[in-house]
Amino acid sequence: MMLKSIICHLALFGLGSARVQFLGMSIAGGEFGCQIDGSCPLGSTQLPLQSFKLGGGDGEGQMKHFATDDGMNLFRLPISWQFLVNNQLGSPLNTANLAKYDKLVQTCLATGAHCMIDIHNFARWNGGIIGQGGPTDEQFVSLWTQLATEYAASQNIVFELMNEPHDLDIPKWAATCQKVVTAIRSAGAKTQMILLPGSNFDSAATLVSGGSAAALMAITNPDGSTDNLVLDVHKYLDVDNSGTHAECITNNTGAFGEVATFLRQAERKGLVSETGAAPDGSACLARFCEQNSFINANSDVFVGLVSWAAGSFDTSYLLAQTPRFDGQKWVNNQLAADCVVDTWLKSSEVVPAPAPVASSSSAIVAVPTITSTSYLTGTRTISMTGTITTIEIQETSSAVIESSSTVLETDESQPTTILNAPALDIPTTVETTTNSAPIASMKSPAISNKYNTLQQAVL
């Protein structure tokens, strides 16, 4: 094996004993039947309120389990626009349907967790794009004004403006979101977190390069501040980012690394509100754990991670993280236990953001996978996996290497490992690129989305 000396900016990767502030699960069902054209048939809705005899899965039992047994503190509660207004675009919130959804929200709040209201319509209503030929901005603003008024008194509510917008005029979408943010704040929800979603299904792979991140981060509160305006981020691990394939081809650290770099330079925050993988197969287990460890390691810019999904999904659903009740207790599947809960619990408390790292002469398009727990064991060994095909090498004397106590061994075919790494408050640097650019993440209309197999997946 060739021994090469490499200067590495470890701070760029957010390395440090850290974990995200919020860990959670999507408690699905209210969005069942929704398609990427924004059509959401009311007859498909299965609110996860089994204990209230109002729908599918036992969302109440699941949230209590996740909060009490696993320490989760954020639950995402998807719902369709159509359900909230009883399929009458532009109408006030339907009293009966809102009451049903509110039972889910109040059940969530009773756990002490934060609860995310997610409008799951892909920036559309029955094929028409909001503010771009479909529903007007005013109709969308009206929806959110009413919801903000309803929940303004609860500081534990999170407003996710829209699930996975796609194929949008981004400046027009950002202008629409600005109107909604202003309306939410004006309705009395002055300080609650608002998640701002980008185009191309809110994919981490294209938020920065596609221009969504910059456009959304220009949105402000009425007072001109950006407090609690957070970039919404999604990403799956399969070939087309659709969440419909059992095979996981990436650990997404390149994509999330690009978003983390953007947020760090902009001095802003992001929240990963949807990600998931198939629970079967060692590749998915390894890559999903690697991804979530990386997100936790970059907790200076990522404030939360919400996995997909439990609620009314049966355990046979491809991306199920629905716990099983064995008659006495709830039991997580291995994916949820190892890759969602353990990668968080085995990390330590949230750390302050490091100072932004100045850009170098060579662009970093992706970052290696970092196992966040490896440097908590006392050995100070940091593992970076993934075949490295491009590295910036600086000739360095052995004396310099010894003074930083860092040696990097690599060749063209082996994983890279930093041996005998010092305590992470010692400035050491690395610049690398991994074996591929971020995976393209277009959810083609020709590809079935994760709800098309719903009849086989729900309880």
Per the model's pLDDT, the better-predicted residue between 398 and 16 turns out to be 16
The confidence score (pLDDT) of residue 348 equals 64
- CA–CA dist 215, 310 (Å, integer): 32
pLDDT digits (tens, 9 = 90+) for 106-136: 999 999 999 999 999 999 999 999 999 999 9
- CA–CA dist 332, 60 (Å, integer): 15
- CA–CA dist 92, 88 (Å, integer): 8
Cβ contacts of residue 54 below 8 Å, gap of 6+?
Answer: 47, 100, 103
Would you call 451 helix, strand, or coil by DSSP?
Answer: coil
274 as an active site residue: the answer is yes
How big is the CA angle at 38 (ends 455 and 132), to the nearest 5 degrees? 170
Average pLDDT along the chain: 79
Amino acid identity for residue 48 in this structure: P
Alpha-carbon distances of 267 from 160, 164, 231, rounded to whole Å: 21, 24, 12
pLDDT digits (tens, 9 = 90+) for 80-92: 999 999 999 999 9
Per the model's pLDDT, the better-predicted residue between 231 and 348 turns out to be 231
Q: Reply yes or no on whether the pLDDT at 145 is more than 60.
A: yes
Q: Reply yes or no on whether the pLDDT at 454 is more than 70.
A: no
- Whether the CA torsion 434, 300, 265, 210 is positive or negative: it is positive
**Quick one: average pLDDT of 435-442?**
30
Tokens of 22: 């919020």
What is the reported pTM?
0.77
**Quick one: average pLDDT of 275-296?**
93
Q: Reply yes or no on whether the pLDDT at 171 is more than 80.
A: yes
- CA–CA dist 231, 157 (Å, integer): 16
**Quick one: average pLDDT of 306-312?**
98
Cβ contacts of residue 357 below 8 Å, gap of 6+?
Answer: 9, 11, 12, 264
Q: Reply yes or no on whether the pLDDT at 259 is more than 60.
A: yes
Q: Reply yes or no on whether the pLDDT at 260 is more than 80.
A: yes
The structural domains of the chain, ordered by start, are 3-11+355-434 (no CATH), 18-351+447-457 (3.20.20.80)
Would you call 383 helix, strand, or coil by DSSP?
Answer: strand
Q: What is the DSSP letter of 127?
A: T
pLDDT-derived band at 282 (thresholds 50, 70, 90) equals confident
For 102, phi and psi rounded to 5 degrees? -65, -30
**Quick one: average pLDDT of 213-225?**
98
Per the model's pLDDT, the better-predicted residue between 219 and 390 turns out to be 219
165-183 burial, b for 16+ CB within 10 Å, e for fewer? bbbbebeebbebbbbbbbb
- Parallel, antiparallel, or unpaired for β 407-409 and 416-419? antiparallel
**Quick one: average pLDDT of 158-165?**
98
pLDDT digits (tens, 9 = 90+) for 13-56: 344 448 999 999 999 999 999 999 999 999 999 999 997 776 68
- CA–CA dist 357, 296 (Å, integer): 19
**Quick one: average pLDDT of 214-236?**
98
- CA–CA dist 234, 241 (Å, integer): 9
**Quick one: average pLDDT of 312-339?**
96
- Parallel, antiparallel, or unpaired for β 324-325 and 330-331? antiparallel
CB of 364 closer than 8 Å to CB of 257: yes
Which one of the listed residues 150, 164, 258, 290 is annotated catalytic? 164
CB of 18 closer than 8 Å to CB of 295: no
- CA–CA dist 35, 39 (Å, integer): 6
The confidence score (pLDDT) of residue 356 equals 39
Query: CB-side exposure of 411: number of CA atoms within 13 Å?
Result: 5
Per the model's pLDDT, the better-predicted residue between 369 and 206 turns out to be 206
Range of lowest pLDDT (52-56, 144-148, 257-261, 413-417): 413-417
Share of the chain above pLDDT 90, in %: 69
Kindly provide the residue ranges of all beta strands, DSSP E only, lying in 34-96, ordered along the sequence: 74-79
- Parallel, antiparallel, or unpaired for β 124-125 and 128-129? antiparallel
The confidence score (pLDDT) of residue 440 equals 31
Q: How long is the chain?
A: 459
Which one of the listed residues 60, 274, 290, 431 is annotated catalytic? 274
- CA–CA dist 299, 367 (Å, integer): 16
Q: What is the DSSP letter of 356?
A: P
pLDDT digits (tens, 9 = 90+) for 331-367: 999 999 999 999 999 886 444 444 433 433 333 333 3
Tokens of 76: 């995402």
Q: Reply yes or no on whether the pLDDT at 373 is more than 70.
A: no
Per the model's pLDDT, the better-predicted residue between 300 and 52 turns out to be 300
The confidence score (pLDDT) of residue 174 equals 98
The confidence score (pLDDT) of residue 354 equals 41
- CA–CA dist 237, 203 (Å, integer): 11
Q: Reply yes or no on whether the pLDDT at 390 is more than 50.
A: no
**Quick one: average pLDDT of 395-423?**
29
Share of the chain above pLDDT 70, in %: 71
The confidence score (pLDDT) of residue 378 equals 27
138 as an active site residue: the answer is no
Phi-psi region of 343 (alpha: psi -120 to 50; beta: other; left: phi over 0): alpha
Would you call 266 helix, strand, or coil by DSSP?
Answer: helix
The confidence score (pLDDT) of residue 120 equals 98
CB of 248 closer than 8 Å to CB of 284: yes
Q: Reply yes or no on whether the pLDDT at 163 is more than 60.
A: yes
